[in-house]
Structure 1
Amino acid sequence: MTISVLGAGAFGTALAIALSRDGTRITLWSRNADDAARMQDSRRSGGRLPGHHLPDSLTVTADGTAFGAATCLVAVPAQNLASFLRDHDFRNGGVLIACCKGVDRATGLGPVATIRSARPSHTAAIMTGPSFAVDIANGLPTAIVLATERAKESRKLQSLLTRPALRLYRSTDVRGAELGGALKNVVALAAGIAVGAGLGDSARASVVARGFGELARYAALQGAKRKTLHGLAGLGDLVLTCTSEKSRNFSAGVALGQGRDIDRETTIEGLATAPVIAERAAAAGLGLPLMQATADVIEGRLDISRAVQALLSRPVGKE
């Protein structure tokens, strides 16, 4: 079965390296022909994941034939996923696996729902969980979730894509997998803001714990399963993202907390996700004070000191 990784950013490149390390033939597609040629000729990764050796079984190309693979791992940002799917021709009846975490700000759809909307004849899946590109590229042990609605398809994809150091756990709870990955980015921004503003480690722990509670309440309202949220796609990803400066969302939060500018060249999915979730939760009558405050800071409605004061002024209740 042919496999392509579409998107030669850090995560897409890391996945392509990991999947081809055992000799499996993998195609990595880059939108930039010069970058593709440079990587193919030098056998070294570039961009935001530089210097990693590319296995001989990995081909890097900018050619559109990569989109004809039976299984395509789509490693593009959540905000670009819909247009990417519309703008390219894929093999009829193939498998499209979203390798991004977020909610489309224009439509409110998660990655799998976006695939279904744009490519209804394809099998839609999502790969998500606690994983940094550099760890995957270095062959360090990483456990993530592969979710698709059909159990038979999830078993097939699990067998196809699992590697010794890249362990894929299958799930049919697509909604839980989507929302766990999307919402943890918002909590990570909040945790980073707490750290950057000098509120201390105790405050960060409170943000993570209360943030997970908000994540679980919102996701449950959307039909997610508790087991998924307490597993790799939810709690596992949240822990990683809120405790490491390798996390783009956490680091962006730290920058905000310190009053610094954010690197807009880097994909920070939580910046787009937070306002969508806050708006949808409010419309549903669900109180998510931490996520709402984070969205207010991102959108410029509150400065950080006022947001903190608003949270600390809330009445205390039962845990």
Structure 2
Amino acid sequence: MTEQPIAERGGLAVLGAGSWGTALATLAARNGVPTHLWGRDATALVDMAASHRNQRYLPDLQLPTGLSFEPDLAKAVRHAATVLIVVPSHAFADMLSDIAPLLDPGTQIAWATKGFEPGTGRFLHELVAERLPGRAAAVLTGPSFAREVAAGQPSAVTVHSEDAVFAQHLADLLHAPNFRVYTGNDVLGAELGGAMKNVLAVATGVADGMQLGLNARAGLITRGMNEMLRLGVALGAKPETLMGLSGLGDLVLTCTGDLSRNRRLGLALGQGIGIHEAVAQIGQVVESMVTADEVVRLADKHHLDLPISKGVRAVLHGEVTPVEGMKALMAREQKPEYPQGLFGTH
């Protein structure tokens, strides 16, 4: 019997078999959605199909029998109603180029990648519009450690799209008793929050690694939120988006949770470990390594002073030590908290 095309069954192709891609594919499969998981490591996919476990990233998660593993990218996306991209930001543009000639005309595109295009500071939705024009597109983001989602612990995220019907469709594919999915229409704001929180998490990690106390952590989170809001408003994002799950929610999680790779990078730096050794110890992509450059580039373009973000960039580039960076923040001139209103430039 000829297999029914995935598109007719509302099928989903998840591209990226790391921890987050595996967790999202598992959610969809558990919801009865025909789901294909693709990854660059064909051997790892074969092992996952045999053991129904992702031994490298989520060894404790029993993968559902309804989840298919496909090492052939063309087969993974062929006839898919929705493609969900979950690869690091530095690989995002190439992934779009790879799938462009493979997609059916009606296939919709979503991504759970957080960050900017390295070297240009462009948002990921801009790349989607450029390389896959005319398609419904959505970003999935919010405070969500893959390990906790995989374990069935309660989580809440948000899907933003200019296409309200597609946003709701993607939310329906993933929504579950312990995984609440909200919707919105501010793609730029949702992407900014998901990217910028990684930079700010390094700052709080550094402070905690230096054992500067809970007061310092709270101050950095609050002033970091201020930097996110001011940059967001300058770019045209909605403040309420950044005060929601994709901004404040993700910021709090990433700045306080030790499952965060970016926070762990900061912790290591604050403890005196060198940048290369710290990244090697984490063993996965640390998005703040490139995102800090793009945040500062955007801030300079809009004539904004973002001292925490700029300090993180300087530390990551070895221009200052963590101790020097913290001293510079504390030595800044005294001023009103909001000299020009909530979204002033200071």
Give the TM-score normalised by the residue count of structure 2: 0.89
Q: Indicate the residue corresponding to 2:334 in structure 1.
A: 316
Equivalenced residues, count: 319
* Cα pair 1:23 1:56 within 8 Å, conserved: no
Distance in 1, Cα, partners of 2:109 & 2:55: 25
**Among candidates 5, 10, 13, match of residue 22 of structure 2:** 13
1:173 deviates by 0.4
Deviations along 1:277-314, whole A, 9 cap, x unmatched?
11221232111011111111111211122212211111
* Cα pair 1:92 1:121 within 8 Å, conserved: no
* Cα pair 2:171 2:183 within 8 Å, conserved: yes
SS at match of 1:263: helix
SS at match of 1:28: strand
**Among candidates 81, 85, 100, match of residue 92 of structure 2:** 81
Q: Are positions 1:52 and 2:65 aligned together?
A: no
Q: Indicate the residue corresponding to 1:263 in structure 2.
A: 279
* Cα pair 1:146 1:158 within 8 Å, conserved: yes
Deviations along 1:159-205, whole A, 9 cap, x unmatched?
23322222110110001100010111111011001111222221111
Distance in 2, Cα, partners of 1:49 & 1:116: 33
Q: Between the two proteins, what is the percent identity of the paired residues?
A: 39
Q: Indicate the residue corresponding to 2:306 in structure 1.
A: 288
Q: Indicate the residue corresponding to 1:111 in structure 2.
A: 124
SS at match of 1:170: strand
Q: Indicate the residue corresponding to 2:7 in structure 1.
A: none
1:45 deviates by 2.0
Q: Indicate the residue corresponding to 1:37 in structure 2.
A: 46
1:77-156 counterparts in 2 under 5 A?
77-88=88-99, 89-156=102-169
1:87 deviates by 2.1
Q: Indicate the residue corresponding to 1:181 in structure 2.
A: 194
**Among candidates 59, 62, 70, match of residue 81 of structure 2:** 70
Distance in 2, Cα, partners of 1:38 & 1:219: 43
**Among candidates 289, 293, 316, match of residue 275 of structure 1:** 293
SS at match of 2:181: strand
Root-mean-square deviation (CA), in Å? 1.4
SS at match of 1:262: helix
Distance in 2, Cα, partners of 1:112 & 1:98: 9
The aligned amino acid for 1:90 is: L
1:156-175 counterparts in 2 under 5 A?
156-175=169-188
Unpaired segments ≥5 residues, structure 2: 1-9, 338-346
Distance in 2, Cα, partners of 1:123 & 1:150: 6
SS at match of 1:47: coil
1:104 deviates by 1.4
Q: Indicate the residue corresponding to 1:238 in structure 2.
A: 251
The aligned amino acid for 2:180 is: R
1:121 deviates by 3.2
1:54 deviates by 1.2
Distance in 2, Cα, partners of 1:263 & 1:292: 20
1:156 deviates by 2.7
Distance in 1, Cα, partners of 2:33 & 2:301: 47
* Cα pair 1:18 1:139 within 8 Å, conserved: no
Distance 1:51 1:29, change over 3 A: same
Distance in 2, Cα, partners of 1:52 & 1:202: 37
